[in-house]
Amino acid sequence: MEEFKQEMEAEPQISVPLEEKVSWGRIIFDVIETLALAVLLFFGINAISARVRVDGFSMLPTLEDSEFVLVSKINYQLASVERGDIIVFHFPMDPEQELIKRVIGLPGDVVNVQNGIVSVNGLALEEPYIAAAPAYSGEWDVPDGHLFVLGDNRNDSSDSHFWGYLPFEKVVGKAVIIYWPPPLWKVIEHTNILTAQ
């Protein structure tokens, strides 16, 4: 046993230095590749979607002030706008400003507001999503290429009843998801507003 111990002690310890070859060319290539992929993803995601912060109380109770909403930019390239859709658009009076409202009237529709009831083409809307019945009245014939939009908080909303029709080319897209803050995360419901008789 003593001999074995001496043999073990006698074996030379070989230390192999671990030399790593640094390939700066490969590192630079990886960094450029990662940056290019990030830029591609950024522009790709922005081409099909937008993120919008709700600013104000015009869409209460459906949307709260300071919520963040994901908007589909391609939705209306694949399908038509429908009454009841919640959309984001560039405000016609100030294109730098984006607003979010509900579509009430399509081209050719007659929108009427009387005695707190909104009707489209003579059909009264059932609107469980509004904050209160509108305290204003009027009638609007929606022209071709335009939409009539209202906020769900009817009496505290700058919308078509105040500034007129929305040109369709100003539409950014359809609001699909509330994604911030996390406790309020949900898919946005787009009510078919002409189900009432």
Q: Would you please indicate which residues are annotated as catalytic (active-site) residues?
A: 58, 101
Query: How many residues are there in the chain?
Result: 197
CB 88 within 8 A of CB 100: yes
DSSP 79: S
DSSP 35: H
β-strands 186-187, 171-180 pairing: antiparallel
Q: What angle do CA 18, 24, 25 make, to 5 degrees?
A: 130
β-strands 98-105, 146-150 pairing: antiparallel
CA gap 177, 30 in Å, rounded: 35
CB 113 within 8 A of CB 136: yes
Two tokens at 171? 């539409």
